[in-house]
Amino acid sequence: MLAQSLIQGLDQFFTPLTLILTTLGVIFGLVVGALPGLGPLMGIVLMLPFAVDMPPVSAMGFLIAIGVGGSCGGSISAILLRIPGTPLAAATLFDGYPMAQKGRAADAIGIAISASALGGLFGGLVLILTAPVLADFASNFAPPEYAMLALTGLISIAVVSDGSLLKGLMTGALGLLIATIGTDEFSTGFRFAFHYEMLNGFHIVAIVVGIFAVSEMAQQVQAGNLNEKPTVKPVRPGFRSVLLTLRHWKNLLRSSTIGAAFGALPGVGGTISTFASYAVAKAMSKPEEGYGKGAEGGVVATESANNATVGGAMVPTLALGIPGEAASAVLIGAMLILGFFPGPALFADQPEIAGGIFLVYLFSNVSLLVVGIVMTPVFVWVLRLKKSYLVPVVLLLCAIGTFALQSSVFDLWVMMGFGVVGILLRAGGYPLAPLVIGVILGPLLENNLRRSLLISREGYWIFLDRPVSAILVAANVLLIASAIFWTIRLRKAQRARRAESPD
């Protein structure tokens, strides 16, 4: 299945449009990654409306490359300004910034880009080797397994997301509720469809652009410093950075493995994997390496892990159609609009698309290595961009892209409405990712749950009669029980601390 996918994918991959768009995606990803407050998810969201009119593999190459570039771009501002461009790069500044302070900014950025690209390639190998196997195993899955998998995805995201468990579950439930708008597949009746443009529910792109991009821009404006222009010196890394990175090959392999493994787990994501791989690298280092004071190994560990996470996260996304985090959920939304369903059927019926996606992912990491090192001066210059220019351009892109989807003014209202929802949720400390995951997983969960019950001749027992479904039921129960256990334990600890404090 693997060889067949790759061979058939070559035709889709080797087109000028795909190669150019993938490279452009990496460049755009590095720009949005470098700019504090944006990041890979925002980059994918902003370009989603433009990508959905492209051929499938070119579009996916463009969006995935933005994710790859964006996961690395955050290191540039972390190293030069001590401000991580994205949360993914937060751990990179532990050693990246001290390296810059010692006059090794070019080496630090070069190592960050090289480690990202090599870690990303490792993640790509994990993706290529495991996704078809998982898809083959899942080809026997029936509605009960899919219903339980969707539930696992939703619970995991809510449990692991920022903020409290309850808030995560609440925004996830709000996402599920939004997903019910439109036509009910089973009764063929309409639900909450007050306007003919709501017969299909809200357009997923208008939702994600509003919830992530519009609300983020509002937050940027609220934060102030609109005309601040950081002072940065030009930096020009060279390809010798690759050799510097390869000197830490054990660290590179270990951190990439951690990144890819964490990426494949729903809800864990890149930020946790970078801190975990940094902690492991530091624990295994010699004292003279000076972790925290400008150690090359620290940058290698965090950057290789966060880009390997992208490959790992795509395993459940492509093989099962279950997103591991928000960016994967948006990629699934893109795939559905482009006309193909991620999951076992993708590998069985459209191996050329699956193979094409594998190849664009690998190419985007090769492209990251070359483009990243050659164009670093441009990305450093971008850091000087004032917010007063950036915010209007981003909002304009949001509006043009959302309108262009269906030439619909209604979609613009949806985008603005969800922008307001995003602002309110951020203000209340509610995580946004579970809402989008809820919207994506909602139909999968509801339809498969109802389908299972229609197929079943013994009601809910169908979920326990099938072995894989029963295991997933047990996993879901464990997830919920452990989340409740840790929440209670945390509250008790907080209460104990409050009781001990003098006031």
The total number of residues shown for the chain amounts to 503
The smaller minimum CB distance to other proteins, of residues 338 and 433, is found at: 338
Q: What backbone torsions phi and psi does residue 285 show, to the nearest 5 degrees?
A: -85, 165
* Total chain residues near other proteins (CB under 8 A): 39
Contact pattern from residue 199 through residue 218 relative to other proteins, giving x for each residue in contact according to CB under 8 A and a dash for the rest:
xx------------------
Q: Could you say whether residue 378 binds other proteins (CB under 8 A)?
A: no
Closest C-alpha among 67, 64, 41, 55 to residue 338? 55
Compute how many other C-beta atoms are within 10 angstroms of the C-beta atom of residue 189: 9
Q: Could you say whether residue 230 binds other proteins (CB under 8 A)?
A: no
The smaller minimum CB distance to other proteins, of residues 389 and 486, is found at: 389
Instruction: Check if the beta carbon of residue 452 is closer than 8 Å to that of residue 245.
Output: no
Minimum CB–partner distance for residue 306 and other proteins (Å): 30
Place of tokens 């326990």: 464
Instruction: Identify the H or E element spanning 148.
Output: helix 143-160
**Considering only 10-18, 240-248, 448-456, 476-484, which stretch makes contact with other proteins by CB under 8 A?**
448-456
Which residue of 233, 286, 457, 497 would you call a contact of other proteins, by CB under 8 A?
A: 457
C-alpha angle 86-88-92 in degrees, rounded to nearest 5: 100
Minimum CB–partner distance for residue 396 and other proteins (Å): 5
C-alpha angle 406-408-411 in degrees, rounded to nearest 5: 100
Closest C-alpha among 359, 469, 424 to residue 10? 359
Q: Could you say whether residue 454 binds other proteins (CB under 8 A)?
A: yes
Which residue of 20, 221, 243, 396 would you call a contact of other proteins, by CB under 8 A?
A: 396
Interaction residues for other proteins, span 26-85 (CB under 8 A):
53
Closest C-alpha among 448, 454, 457, 459 to residue 142? 448
Q: Could you say whether residue 8 binds other proteins (CB under 8 A)?
A: no
Contact pattern from residue 336 through residue 375 relative to other proteins, giving x for each residue in contact according to CB under 8 A and a dash for the rest:
x--xxx--xx---x--------------------------
Q: Which residues contact 144 (CB under 8 A, 6 or more apart)?
A: 448, 452, 462, 463, 466, 469
Binding site for other proteins (CB under 8 A): 53, 139-140, 142-143, 182-183, 185-186, 188-190, 196-197, 199-200, 336, 339-341, 344-345, 349, 389, 392-393, 396-397, 399-400, 403, 406-407, 443, 447, 451, 454-455, 457
